[in-house]
Amino acid sequence: MSTPQTGRAAAAGTAAAPDPRRWAALAVALLAVFMDLVDITIVLIAAPAIQADLGTGYASIQWVIAAYSLALGLGLITGGRLGDILGRRRMFLAGVAGFTLASAACALAPGVGTLIAARVLQGAAAAMMVPQVLAMVQVSFPARERAKAFGLYGAVTGLAAAAAPIVGGLLVGNDVLGLQWRSVFWVNVPIGVLAVVAGAVWMRESRAADRPRLDVPGVVLATVGLLLLLYPLIQGAELGWPGWVWLMLAASVLALAGFARHQARRGRTGDALVPLSLFGSRSFVAGLLAVLVMFSALGSFFMVLTITLQTGHGFSALTVGLIFMAWPVGLAATAGAAVRLAPRIGRRLVSIGALLLTAAMLALITTISRSGGDLGAWHLVPALLVGGVGFGLVAPILVDMVLATVPASAAGAASGVTNTIVQVAGAAGVAVVGALFTTFLDRTGDFDLAAQRALWYAVGAFALGFVLSRALPARAHHATDH
């Protein structure tokens, strides 16, 4: 078990000498990060099999995908605060244990309602787990070693992106142990148990020196506001856009305005979940908007392609996984160079990446249109490869670009806000694009035509990302500078 710390060093999470078990503890933390990131993508591959087995509609499948990202996004800042207050090791272990139990609940779900509820619990548990990882790197590693530790974190995220489509395709496509889609959740259980046991042995406890108070009313207002926004977007198309949908959308505006007002009052005491002073920076606001629109397009267009290829064209889950591998291959080709060049030409890299992403989405639309319903398994690979190359220029550095002009004293809060936007954007994108796709499919009955029309959202989102990137600072700071 971890050695108790004493005095102010324990409170701050630092000690006179570096933690001798810090690399083993990092390995455990990265194992949990890998499990979390794979789970996000692997469910996309399994979505058509879930829909067929549970006999549910497209709206319910959108909830299976979006519920995780929404719960994770809503809980990230709260999870980080609880780590500062209660202890990062304690919150990490609780999060991994909760994630493991929720994964088992997903695998055992008898119906789609139970599955969605278990996905919410999965996302909430991940929100307890994920924020502690980078915080533990910051407090456990001396400055000279942090770059290597952050580099390993980046490598694991890339590995997860590459592994998820293949793992999902193999598990679902081969019906491992007769479990069908349930295997994508069962695979988390042994990994989670290993992470809990190893973390209890190798991780050391740390807390913030000045423990903030938890803004419970802020959490409630943000949660209610986003649910009032996303629920009607996801369900509206399937239900024919009844009047109550528009009332909920109007109520979401009021709830989110109330959240902003509450944060303004809370900011006077220094305990706001989202310090509104951050939004005084033009580059920070432009960067957040770029994160919002670009990440909202990412998960949503993969969802559209997955349903179109598997349900519309009868491709196997493994074939779709192999096709999607073009994306992480392209990402790997440029991500390392983006990190190295960001301190000199970061803004230019983001702009080029956004243009490549826009071109890739236009190429996908053109390819589907010209196929005439005879879409081959590998027709989409070139466009996905170009998209991966573009995203490799954006993903590793965009958050750092957003934070580049934020004062060091506010970097933690700004990082929490930005990472929350990434997750909420993913859920919102699935809701909006899923509604578009479902509406077009109901009207035309043509998967390819519905996919083409829905993909125009991604074209517009990445094009707007290019415009917004011009307001970012010219270069980025490395994570260790924050």
Write down the domain spans for the chain: 20-210, 213-270, 280-482
Name the band, by pLDDT with cuts 50, 70 and 90, for residue 387. Answer: very high
Q: How far is residue 250's CA from residue 243's CA, in Å, rounded to a whole number?
A: 11
- The answer to whether the beta carbons of residues 389 and 334 sit under 8 Å apart is yes
Name the band, by pLDDT with cuts 50, 70 and 90, for residue 8. Answer: very low
Select from 1.20.1250.20, 1.20.1630.10, 1.10.730.10, 1.10.240.10 the CATH code of 280-482: 1.20.1250.20
- The answer to whether the beta carbons of residues 371 and 448 sit under 8 Å apart is yes
- The answer to whether the beta carbons of residues 401 and 473 sit under 8 Å apart is yes
Listed in sequence order, the residues at least 6 apart from 361 whose beta carbon sits closer than 8 Å to its beta carbon are: 297, 301, 383, 387, 455, 458, 459, 462
Write the burial class of residue 63 (CB in 10 Å: 0-12 exposed, 13-18 middle, 19+ buried): buried
Q: At what angle do helices 282-307 and 317-324 cross, to 10 degrees?
A: 150
Three-state DSSP at 346 gives helix
Write the burial class of residue 313 (CB in 10 Å: 0-12 exposed, 13-18 middle, 19+ buried): middle
Of 5-9, 45-49, 64-68, the least confident: 5-9
Of 159-163, 198-202, 384-388, the least confident: 159-163
* Diameter over CA atoms, the chain: 70
Q: For 20-210, CATH number?
A: 1.20.1250.20
Q: At what angle do helices 326-370 and 282-307 cross, to 10 degrees?
A: 70
Which pLDDT value is given to residue 430? 77
Q: How far is residue 36's CA from residue 28's CA, in Å, rounded to a whole number?
A: 13
Q: What is the pLDDT of residues 258-312, one digit of tens each?
A: 988 888 888 776 667 777 777 877 888 888 898 888 888 887 888 888 888 888 8
Q: How far is residue 181's CA from residue 96's CA, in Å, rounded to a whole number?
A: 22
Name the band, by pLDDT with cuts 50, 70 and 90, for residue 482. Answer: very low
Q: pTM here?
A: 0.75
Q: How far is residue 46's CA from residue 141's CA, in Å, rounded to a whole number?
A: 38
Q: How many CB atoms lie within 10 A of CB 267?
A: 16
Q: What is the pLDDT of residues 170-216, one digit of tens each?
A: 788 777 777 888 988 998 999 999 999 998 988 888 776 666 677 78
**The token pair that represents 56 in the structure block:** 């549910």
Q: What is the mean pLDDT of the chain?
A: 81
Pure H helices in 308-325: 317-324
Q: How far is residue 454's CA from residue 441's CA, in Å, rounded to a whole number?
A: 10
Residue 124 CA: distances (Å) to CA of 50, 119, 287, 345? 22, 9, 26, 37
pLDDT: which is higher, 230 or 91: 91
Q: What is the pLDDT of residues 336-348, one digit of tens each?
A: 888 788 788 878 9
Residue 308: what are its φ and ψ, rounded to 5°?
A: -65, -45
> Do 280-482 and 20-210 have the same topology in CATH?
yes
